[in-house]
Amino acid sequence: MVDAMKTQRWLRAVVGSLALAAIFFQATAVVVGEGQAVLVTRFGRPLRAATKPGLHWKLPWPIDSALLIDMRRRVYETGQTEMLTRDKKNIIARTFVVWRVGDPLAFTQAIGVQGGAEAKLDGLLTNAAIGTLGGHDLSALVSTNPSDLQVDQIESELLASTAPVAMRNYGVALEQIRLERIALPEENVTAVFDQMRAERRQFAAKYQAEGEQAASKIRSDAELEAARITAKGAEETARIRGESAAQVAKTYADAHRINPELYRFTRSMDSLDKLVTGNTSLILRTDSEPFSLLQSKDQK
């Protein structure tokens, strides 16, 4: 009986103190996670900000209360704004910024709800962009010449001119500013299109002319080569024919030289053979061979 009473008392004490501890912990402990901050306010007045993750303490409600602030990085894109470059060209630019709450106390005081931060950043960034881009030519943004491009410099200038202001005024830390878009006003695009068209036509004409030139060079080179080959062939042919004629003439001459008289006679006979054709009328004297033989026979 005494044991049971003791156990019961012990149990009561344990359960009771656990419950009390839980209530006390709930009221006074603040667990600050990674990527978070907690702003402790006393009677509504900001007291301190707990930015380091871990276990922090406060007085129980209603004296102190804890406001959880998201410290993660966020991305904000500004609107597209028309601005003028140093060489008086209208462009439309848009930047984006990676930001986070840098000073929870200042942030809560300046902005309160987080939605308001972006409207303030938009103004700050747009003004900075107008100022910075006004100090550079368009070729600093787009150019095929690498030495003209100054995008890194422009982005660092933008960050340098806005980050201290954002931190001081709004408790916002700007970590990265980039040019997200570089475009042209609608009315300038037409001119760019016309220029692009003209450039394309020029290219097409150039390719055509180059093609024709190359083709005609190939053709004329080939013709020249063919003519050279033909001429060489003709030369060779003529040489062969000449040599042959000389050889033939020598052969005949060697033979005929032995008996020129016989040669003359055979040549006369050959000529006679060649001259007399089917259309020839031959007139012979009756005293020439072979008629003379007949005559002489009759007379004898």
The CB-of-205 to other proteins minimum distance in angstroms stands at: 8
The pattern of x and - marking residues 38 through 67 that bind other proteins according to CB under 8 A reads ---------------xxx------------
Are residues 97 and 125 in contact, defined by beta-carbon separation less than 8 angstroms?
yes
Nearest to 141 by CA among 188, 81, 181, 197: 181
Amino acid making up residue 285: R
CA–CA distance from 240 to each of 119, 233, 284 (Å)? 101, 11, 46
Q: How big is the CA angle at 299 (ends 293 and 300), to the nearest 5 degrees? A: 90
Instruction: Point out which span in 105-113, 126-134, 138-146, 163-171 binds other proteins (CB under 8 A).
Output: 138-146
Per CB under 8 A, the list member of 63, 84, 223, 296 interacting with other proteins is 223
Q: Does 98 bind other proteins (CB under 8 A)?
A: yes
- CB proximity list for 134: less than 8 A, separation 6 or greater: 83, 84, 85, 86
Instruction: Point out which span in 103-111, 129-137, 164-172, 211-219 binds other proteins (CB under 8 A).
Output: 211-219
The CB-of-43 to other proteins minimum distance in angstroms stands at: 25
CA–CA distance from 163 to each of 99, 104, 168, 257 (Å)? 10, 16, 9, 122
Per CB under 8 A, the list member of 23, 33, 60, 112 interacting with other proteins is 33
The CB-of-169 to other proteins minimum distance in angstroms stands at: 22
- Nearer to other proteins by Cβ, of 109 and 244: the residue is 244
Instruction: Point out which span in 101-109, 128-136, 159-167, 266-274 binds other proteins (CB under 8 A).
Output: 266-274
CA gap 31, 53 in Å, rounded: 7
Instruction: Point out which span in 59-67, 106-114, 123-131, 221-229 binds other proteins (CB under 8 A).
Output: 221-229
CA gap 29, 40 in Å, rounded: 11
Q: Does 237 bind other proteins (CB under 8 A)?
A: yes
Q: Does 256 bind other proteins (CB under 8 A)?
A: yes
